């Protein structure tokens, strides 16, 4: 996908930030759209259906965390990458952001070259499929995972998962009973180019447990996780 075909929605309530980031991303050939609060972000995201949304955390009317949660409920935007732009400390930003369904976060102050490099790394992984020998369709009793359609059917009901949750579930369920090491999960789901902490996996596992049940995901202390069928 060429840069000219990539839509990026930038959301921040600081005009200077919008101007600087828009300029640098537009110079790379990306189509950049802007919004200055969460409500506008949701409206423009629905209209433009961008490949990437860069969301500030602290904004008036609706903050970035709530906007991210709302966007993740929109089916046509389930493949959209979302990264937070924040000056807050890592403890809050990373955990709260990933719980809301974000793929990554970028910390202020922003160096243009670093920002562009980060965006390129994220977009390179947009269409990357998990390197797994498993079939595109996984059927495990009351759980069906359709890799082609990015669709989950659990107990006969459709379940919409954020992209990273889906990929993590697919990876673990591709080999029930196999223990996936934490470093392998990070590499396959987030890649070496994206810097995230180890708690990122824990946050996503917790969200999957909330939606699909505790018993399916077993923690192997000090090693990683495995998926268990009934």
Share of the chain above pLDDT 70, in %: 88
- Outline which parts of the chain fall under CATH 1.10.10.10: 137-227
- Outline which parts of the chain fall under CATH 3.40.50.2300: 3-124
Determine if the pTM surpasses 0.85: no
Looking at every residue in the chain, the average pLDDT score rounds to 84
Helix, coil or strand: residue 6: coil
Residue range 12-58, pLDDT digits in tens: 999 999 999 999 999 999 999 999 999 999 999 999 999 999 999 88
The answer to whether the beta carbons of residues 178 and 132 sit under 8 Å apart is no
In words, the CATH class of domain 3-124 is: alpha beta
Nearest to 158 by CA among 110, 204, 194, 211: 211
State residue 49's pLDDT score: 95
Tokens of 221: 């202390």
State residue 131's pLDDT score: 44
Q: Where are the alpha helices (DSSP H) in the chain?
A: 15-27, 38-48, 64-71, 90-100, 112-124, 163-173, 182-185, 199-212
Distance separating alpha carbons of residues 65 and 77, to the nearest angstrom:
16
Domain at 137-227, CATH from 3.40.190.170, 1.10.287.1260, 1.10.10.10, 3.40.50.2300: 1.10.10.10
């Amino acid at each position: 996908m060429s840069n000219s075909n990539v839509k990026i929605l930038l959301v921040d309530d600081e005009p200077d930030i919008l101007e600087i980031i828009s300029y640098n991303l537009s110079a790379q050939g990306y189509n950049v759209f802007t919004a200055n609060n969460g409500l506008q972000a949701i409206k423009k995201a629905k209209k433009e259906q961008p490949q990437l949304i860069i969301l500030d955390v602290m904004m008036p009317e609706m903050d970035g965390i709530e906007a991210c949660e709302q966007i993740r409920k929109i089916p046509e935007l389930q493949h959209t990458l979302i990264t937070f732009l924040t000056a807050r400390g890592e403890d809050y930003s990373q955990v709260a952001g990933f719980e809301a369904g974000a793929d990554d976060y970028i910390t202020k102050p922003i160096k243009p070259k670093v920002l562009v490099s980060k965006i390129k790394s994220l977009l390179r992984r947009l269409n990357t499929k998990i390197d797994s020998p498993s079939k595109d369709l996984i059927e495990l009793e009351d759980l069906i995972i359709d890799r082609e359609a990015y669709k989950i059917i659990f107990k006969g009901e459709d379940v919409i998962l954020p992209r990273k949750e889906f990929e993590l579930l697919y990876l673990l369920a591709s080999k029930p009973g196999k223990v996936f090491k934490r470093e392998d999960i990070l590499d396959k789901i987030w890649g070496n180019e994206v810097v995230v902490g180890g708690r990122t996996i824990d946050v996503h596992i917790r969200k999957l447990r909330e939606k699909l049940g505790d018993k399916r995901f077993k923690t192997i202390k000090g090693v990683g996780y495995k998926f268990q069928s009934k």
